[in-house]
Amino acid sequence: MASTPKKNPKPGVPQRSMASRRTRLQSPPTEFRVPDVRDPKVAADIRRQARLMAQHPENDAIDDWIEAVYDWDEWPPFDAP
């Protein structure tokens, strides 16, 4: 007795599942919020944070490490045109 091939009971299922997968994989747009440094309160807070960072007990060690690992040849000097 010959068996008949099974028919796909739900035609188009792979296409729908792939479309559903693509929809799930799409992420919402990335949004970056940047503070307005023209605002006096923001500028004052930035200065406050900078003073706190300058008083860090390991500030000199951190600066030495940055100097050691930074590739100074990669960037042009500040006075370059």
* Cβ–Cβ under 8 Å, residues 56 and 62: yes
Q: Which two tokens stand for residue 5?
A: 């091939």
Give the model confidence (pLDDT) of 31-48 as tens digits.
888 999 899 999 999 999
* Cβ–Cβ under 8 Å, residues 65 and 58: no
User: Which residue, among 44, 46, 41, 42, has the nearest Cα to 54 in the 3D structure?
Assistant: 46
pTM of the model: 0.43
pLDDT band for 10, please (50, 70, 90 cuts). low
